[in-house]
Amino acid sequence: MNRFPRHLATALLCLGLLTACGSESDDSSDGSSDTGSEATASDSPQETAGSPEDGATAEASAGPASVEPSDATSAVIHTSEGDIALTLFPEQAPLTVTNFVGLADGSLPWAGQQDGEPLYNGTIFHRVIDGFMIQGGDPNGDGTGGPGYQFQNENDPDLTFDEPYLLAMANAGPDTNGSQFFITVAPQPHLDGGYTIFGEVADEESKAVVDAIAATETDPATDRPLEDIVIESISVE
């Protein structure tokens, strides 16, 4: 008797992924903000990154391919709820790791950047779904923001969503990665092939922090935590 609801939930989840991705691609064509991902509360980790904002440097739209690749293998997300230690996968996802590291330390130019500031400092986990994932990395804090460029997916066949605590990029469809990322809290095999996995949570203490964030009370209409969960900074080691 319990099987049907579980299969129905999975079907609805996949439908939400397809529907939201289509709506966001349309929105980005005219430069408007998406928010099919966040405002409709569909269970899909997504981002739309449009053109660089007015006043941004030309380099802000170049993305991670324009800088020296990073070989960093570890990082720590310092949040208002505790630290999340990460193991990064630069060999499997070199562009994505370079992007994450560059936005974390400010070495990669992004739209609206001031004086080399890191993009992630002071942002929030704007979308949290218990049993699914926690999503952050948006400079706007509402699911509409990005770094002012997009870059391609990096899908290693050996990396799949067959376990929890994986770090991956949110997107609005193939090759639309920007700055938003998510961490899963359960296996999500329906996401395989659609989202770049570029790391994992490194230890049990950090997994407990992720679980605590995932369990926080949220607005049911937007999945945003009722109290901000802040990414204070991300250190790369």
Provide the CATH number for the domain around residue 126. 2.40.100.10
pLDDT tens-digit readout, 190-199: 999 999 999 9
Model confidence band, residue 30 (pLDDT cutoffs 50, 70, 90): very low
Residues 126, 132: Cα–Cα separation, whole Å: 14
- What residue numbers bound the domain in which 175 lies? 3-236
Number of domains in the chain: 1
Query: Looking at residue 161, what is its pLDDT?
Result: 98
User: For residue 140, what are the contacts with CB-CB under 8 A and spacing of at least 6?
Assistant: 33
Burial zone of 217 (CB within 10 Å; 0-12 exposed, 13-18 middle, 19+ buried): exposed
pLDDT tens-digit readout, 171-191: 999 999 999 999 999 999 999
Query: Looking at residue 61, what is its pLDDT?
Result: 59
**pTM for the whole structure:** 0.80
Phi, psi of 236, rounded to the nearest 5 degrees: -110, 135
